[in-house]
Chain A
């Protein structure tokens, strides 16, 4: 049944993706919600939140605020915070409530800028799309608004787009993190590296505006795949990889280089046509995954371990590769440095026996 989840909890929503991108940029981030969405974002989808102080606020909407459309109250409260906290910018992140009442984000942005005196971006996230949609909106809004024109190119300066905990399944390596200065000085980059589909729209925007070339690749996922291939022989195997699209593609290349017979990539998230190969699969429902696995004749499944509950009859090998926006489980500490085991391989056939 469309929309029904019997095994999986809902995936990270667009508002979490937006905040994930904005988190370290030194802005005042206002989640336009009643409180619960902010709790979900911070308490579940943002692993950095419990370690670092960040200016994330809930609008604390109440029923009459929504019914009467009290945007002016929100703006006043934002202006009050802007007087008390020195920030680079303000960002207003949408949730289901403003989506239902039809909040005019452009008007909200203008009002906020006038009243708070802070450059403001808005993201019309709804809580009904997935994280990568929100992350993509945040990247585009940031570069569109804050990237300064015409800085001289700095040789060797590579900007990484799509490097956030939801896309990488871990806290990004420091050299991949995006700072506000990186955004402002975007035109100085020699190249942009897109490690997840969420970064592609921004990369195209920067190419259009500044002529900055971009490359789509995910070295971390490739490294993960190489480690899997070292511990498990994929030669002659038909492999299904379920990850975000750029990571899945990187893993595919590695497995094929280790003589896998075929590698099919599937994703619950963005499936961009320009990055897809024939036979790749866009997943929406649990039933889609069940059908894909049972009809696909795969030998090996690589993906978040919570997926295996959907296909208890699968008799091949499962390789656990936690996907943070799926299960909320981060890769183990150290995984980004490639120093710790991150994936466990188990044979369903052996388990059954």
Chain B
């Protein structure tokens, strides 16, 4: 099909009189590739449409978390305030802090965000850097309670200017007698080696001062909200004799946060915490073990066995394993062979979750996801189990043409999939509190079962 705008160069733009028209598709089909096709092509030969830096980024509600990580979940702004009692000074053009009121309206962030708006003269002369120590002093001075830490958040502009914010922070520290640390909301470096969410973790944990080690202390790194309270991991660690399992989000105050420095080892549950863990190993001598979030119960068991091997223990996971398995079966009883669309705005790797669902006997028709080296292994497995599963990129421009009628599903998992499938039974599964391990699987399928039953009881659908 030929698009009317495949016109000769300069043809249309030279027309003096203009006609109005509605936005309409030339080829009204969003781009997708099947899992089989992608597995055949390999990671190095993905279609351009599925590689985000080879096209414009379509802005739909499904991609808000990509374009504005601070607006949903934990972006740099919320993450930078993970330390209890801390405040943030955002030094940036006004546009960078515009949506912060979404966060500062939350009770936990009230009176914790401050702004130093930059103008063009600041950019040309760099004078905003000289103002920061005084601004920090004014902010600290206007607070009823002295903060534990001031985070200075800077953005793309300073990335381009090559600002040495470490030096500026040291000057501010001298002025207020408080720790002042930088965090970098550099969207420009999002696909670099150390993207903002990696760096902010490094910045936070750089505050830990050396302490004597305690064999009974362990840190869980990776998330800015805690794991679900009934996560079996806590029990397994207690079974090893661990008395304190610390997560930054569960620290009541700065002193308790500092006690994370006494840990015997770190458990890294999110790859973005890898560099922070490496820093802690180098600086404080705390080794780390990395685990992956999975929804395949047998893989979870294998991972716990491997962890036990490293720690010289064996976890008794039979009851947790069975509980997770039962939850899957119970959902299967009310929704046998249900079909799914799986998005990426959720607490899971969409490709791993798609593999899990397929292995449990459900049908995954669509995955909205970003393929990377880490999850390509799951894509290959998905291709074996469900070769016709369609893989879409949320960010690809032709997603503007996505039509729910083209591939309806029973269930949509993830905020983005729910947006694309408003008629399906939708579960966002994107809470701040993190589902993990067997507890994560159990909770997911319990939530799906509740959704199925609610739908039936309300007479909206059959099971």
Contact = CB atoms under 8 A, between A and B. Distances in A.
A119 B15 contact: yes
A6 B18 contact: no
A68 interface: no
B98 interface: yes
Interface string B116-136: 111110110000100100110
A11 B94 contact: yes
A45 B24 contact: no
B131 A35 contact: no
A34 B188 contact: yes
B66 A35 contact: yes
A249 B178 CA distance: 47
Interface in A14-32: 14-16, 26, 30-31
A154 interface: no
Contact of A117 (B8, B17, B20, B53): B8
A36 B23 contact: no
Give the secondary structure class of B's interface: mixed
Nearest to B161: A100
Interface string B90-129: 0001111111111010000000011111111011000010
A110 B316 CA distance: 68
Contacts of B189: 62-63
B157 A100 contact: yes
A66 to B, nearest CB: 6
A148 B104 CA distance: 47
A3 B3 contact: no
B5 A116 contact: yes
Nearest to B192: A63
B302 interface: no
Interface stretch (B34-42, B54-62, B318-326): B54-62
A115 B56 CA distance: 15
Contact of B64 (A42, A96, A127): A42
A50 interface: yes
How large, as a class, is the contact surface on chain A?
35 or more
Interface string B183-195: 0011111111000
Contacts of B138: 1, 4, 6
B418 to A, nearest CB: 13
A52 B7 CA distance: 28
Contacts of B64: 39, 42-43
B187 A96 contact: no
B10 A119 contact: no
Given A9-B100, A40-B98, A101-B160, A85 B11 contact: no
Nearest to A83: B3
Given A43-B67, A97-B160, A86 B4 contact: yes
A63 B159 contact: yes
A59 B56 CA distance: 5
A243 interface: no
A36 B26 contact: no
A60 B56 contact: yes
A343 interface: no
Contact of B26 (A31, A85, A113): A85
Given A1-B135, A9-B98, A34-B190, A99 B120 contact: yes
A40 B95 contact: yes
Interface stretch (A73-81, A213-221, A228-236): A73-81
Interface in A52-78: 53-63, 66-67, 77-78
B139 interface: yes
A29 B135 CA distance: 37
Interface in A92-107: 95-97, 99-101
A209 interface: no
B101 A62 contact: no
B160 A119 contact: no
Contacts of B160: 63, 66-67, 97, 100-101
Contacts of B67: 35-36, 38-39, 42-43, 58
A149 to B, nearest CB: 8
B212 interface: no
Contacts of B101: 9, 327-328
B118 A3 contact: yes
A253 B282 CA distance: 69
A6 to B, nearest CB: 6
A330 interface: no
A120 B14 CA distance: 11
Given A6-B114, A84-B26, A119-B18, A36 B6 contact: no
Contacts of B128: 3
Given A11-B94, A37-B95, A84 B397 contact: yes
B142 A86 contact: no
Nearest to B27: A84
A127 B27 CA distance: 34
Contacts of B258: none
B71 interface: yes
Given A9-B104, A10-B115, A128-B118, A86 B24 contact: yes
Nearest to A34: B187
A123 to B, nearest CB: 14
A44 B95 contact: no
A59 to B, nearest CB: 6
Contacts of B159: 63
A59 B395 CA distance: 11
A16 B53 contact: no
A126 interface: yes
Contact of B139 (A6, A113, A130): A6
Interface stretch (A177-185, A294-302, A315-323, A333-341): A177-185
A39 B10 contact: no
B20 A184 contact: yes
B188 A45 contact: no
Contacts of A180: 18, 20-21
Nearest to A74: B56
Interface string B48-85: 00001111111111001011111100000000000000
Contacts of B142: 6
B270 interface: no
Nearest to A60: B57
B435 to A, nearest CB: 25
A118 interface: yes
Nearest to A180: B20
Given A39-B71, A86-B26, 20 more contacts: A5-B114, A9-B100, A10-B117, A13-B95, A16-B95, A34-B156, A35-B68, A35-B190, A36-B185, A66-B188, A77-B55, A88-B20, A97-B156, A99-B120, A117-B8, A118-B5, A118-B13, A120-B13, A127-B95, A128-B93
Interface of A: 1-6, 9-16, 26, 30-31, 33-40, 42-45, 49-50, 53-63, 66-67, 77-78, 80-88, 95-97, 99-101, 113-120, 126-128, 130, 146, 148, 179-181, 183-184, 327-328
10 contacts: A1-B131, A5-B116, A43-B61, A44-B71, A49-B59, A53-B23, A53-B60, A62-B188, A87-B21, A113-B10
Interface of B: 3-13, 15-27, 52-61, 64, 66-71, 93-102, 104, 113-120, 122-123, 128, 131, 134-135, 138-139, 142, 155-157, 159-161, 185-192, 395, 397-398, 400
Interface pairs A-B: 7 shortest CB-CB: A39-B68, A39-B67, A127-B95, A34-B187, A10-B94, A113-B13, A13-B95
